[in-house]
Amino acid sequence: MTGLHHIFAIKDLESTYLFIPYIRKVVDTVGKKIELKGNGLSVPDNPTILQIDGDGIGPEITQNALRVIDSAISKAYGKEKSINWMKVYAGDEAQSKFGERFPKETEKLLKEYRFLLKGPLETPVGKGFRSLNVHMRLLLDLYANVRPVRYIEGLDSPLKHPERVDMVIFRENTDDLYTGIEWQYDSSEAKVVRELLKKNLDVSIDKDAGIGIKTIGKFKTERIARMAIKYAIDNKRKSVTIMHKGNIMKYTEGAFREWSYEVATKEFRNHIVTEDELNNEHKGSMPKGKILVNDRIADNMFQQIVTRPESYDIILAPNLNGDYISDAAGALIGDIGVLGGANIGDYGGVFEAVHGTAPKYAGKNIANPMGVITAGSLLLIHIGWDKAANIINSSLIKAMKEKKVTNDIARFMGVKPLGTKEFADHLIDIIKS
């Protein structure tokens, strides 16, 4: 059975709760859980995958994306396979229904089912509630943020040769400055840290400075390096570039570089060649079938991905660098609105558009659902349903060629835009044809 589905059963007999979603445990009678089996996943033909609509434009883009994804699955596998989408609540919708932005039941279901396709969720800057996105990543230990960036013909790229952009960024997702260890400049905690550092290490920190702690660990570096290199091998890519600022931050970013090379040379020896080996042992000529592992300093990379994007293939980066380079790489193709991303761990994944809630377009049937649709195709690839993912990708390319697009792209093409729903309808027509 395909399509949206929620079944809410009642644990006790309080009939008042009968049709109030979420008050009691959800009983899933339709789909089956994706399980962890050995080093891989065991995916049933009708897996239950969670879905969150999101804030702002979230509901309209997510619901339309689900229709497109379901249609591609049906085209690829007929009645043999389908996803049982189970809606769970977070953000504004959860706040207004249940008085909290991330209800306990959502957390419980996420821990149980572990795979989620979501719309964007609002996070206020500098104050207010903590990012739900970060919370979910930590909850499921989704240590890799994976973002493929590839040009689609028709986008208004600032580059002369945007067709040369084809990168996949692996950003470490759980470490670095994002662990949230920080104190406001005038807090009692900041005072304690200042005094401790002065007393024990003779290090002075300005009284008016907020303090944050940067951590980069060996275990966390090794597992993301392993995932990125394995991806490069499995997908026959050309190179893996370690992005770092190790010349300045020697014991954090420098260590990230060192540990990544160690994983490459110790665990993937027969598959890779380092840049030193390329120059010293292979006279600059890449041996056939091998993957080049090199490293670049972060600031240099920002100019090089613009001036010669073809030099970059798989990018392996710690959290903060990865955050920045992901958007910069997205800008190269002209529109980050079309990109999807995946947060994945050894067991679980949250798949989402790269863009945010674009509140000014909320409820207007204007926004582009391509980001969530592409995230859906990454989800399908992750669970091994590549055929359906390819159908989605081909339909997007075709719609772009036909210039049947939403306003964000139509305004650059000088054509009449389709609404969010009409664009999804058109993709479904392409898929069915």
In angstroms, the CA 88 to CA 388 distance is 24
Q: Does 60 bind ligand NAP (CB under 6 A)?
A: no
Instruction: Name the residue whose CB lies closest to ligand NAP.
Output: 356
Structure tokens at 240: 């893996």
At closest approach, how far in Å is the CB of 371 from ligand NAP?
Answer: 6
Q: Does 368 bind ligand NAP (CB under 6 A)?
A: yes
Q: Does 376 bind ligand NAP (CB under 6 A)?
A: no
Residue closer to ligand NAP, measured from CB, 197 or 410: 410
Widest Cα–Cα separation across the chain:
77
Residue closer to ligand NAP, measured from CB, 55 or 313: 55
Placement of tokens 């949206």 in the chain: 4
Q: Which long-range contacts (CB under 8 A, 24 or more apart) does 299-304 make?
A: 299/245, 301/241, 301/243, 301/325, 302/328
Number of H helices, E strands in the chain: 14, 16
In 151-198, the DSSP E strands lie at 166-172, 182-183
> Looking at 172, 253, 295, 352, which residue binds ligand NAP (CB under 6 A)?
352
Letters for 317-346 (x = contact with ligand NAP by CB under 6 A, - = none) are --------------------x---------
Q: Does 95 bind ligand NAP (CB under 6 A)?
A: no
At closest approach, how far in Å is the CB of 349 from ligand NAP?
Answer: 14
Q: What is the dihedral of CA 270, 273, 274, 279, to 10 degrees?
A: 140
In angstroms, the CA 165 to CA 263 distance is 27
Count of residues interacting with ligand NAP (CB under 6 A): 19
> Looking at 95, 133, 179, 274, which residue binds ligand NAP (CB under 6 A)?
133
Residues between 377 and 416 with contacts to ligand NAP, criterion CB under 6 A: 408
Residue closer to ligand NAP, measured from CB, 131 or 265: 131
Task: Indicate the helix (H) or strand (E) that contains 5.
Answer: strand 3-5
In angstroms, the CA 395 to CA 381 distance is 16
Task: Indicate the helix (H) or strand (E) that contains 414.
Answer: none
Residue closer to ligand NAP, measured from CB, 114 or 147: 147
Residue closer to ligand NAP, measured from CB, 31 or 341: 341
Q: Mapping DSSP to helix (H, G, I), strand (E, B) and coil, where does residue 357 land?
A: coil
Q: Does 355 bind ligand NAP (CB under 6 A)?
A: yes
In angstroms, the CA 71 to CA 380 distance is 13
Residue closer to ligand NAP, measured from CB, 26 or 90: 90
Letters for 98-127 (x = contact with ligand NAP by CB under 6 A, - = none) are ----------------------xxxx----
Q: Does 357 bind ligand NAP (CB under 6 A)?
A: yes
Residue closer to ligand NAP, measured from CB, 182 or 323: 323
Q: Does 51 bind ligand NAP (CB under 6 A)?
A: no
Would you name the residues annotated as active-site residues?
Answer: 178, 245, 299, 323
In angstroms, the CA 194 to CA 206 distance is 8
Listed ranges 74-82, 96-104, 106-114, 354-362: which one lies at the site for ligand NAP (CB under 6 A): 354-362
Backbone angles phi, psi at 192, to 5 degrees: -60, -45
DSSP letter, residue 259: H
Q: What is the dihedral of CA 244, 146, 52, 155, to 10 degrees?
A: 100
For helices 420-432 and 386-401, angle between their N-to-C axes, nearest 10 degrees: 120
At closest approach, how far in Å is the CB of 48 from ligand NAP?
Answer: 22
> Looking at 309, 348, 371, 376, which residue binds ligand NAP (CB under 6 A)?
371
Note the residues at the interface with ligand NAP (CB under 6 A): 57, 61, 120-123, 133, 337, 352, 355-358, 360-361, 367-368, 371, 408
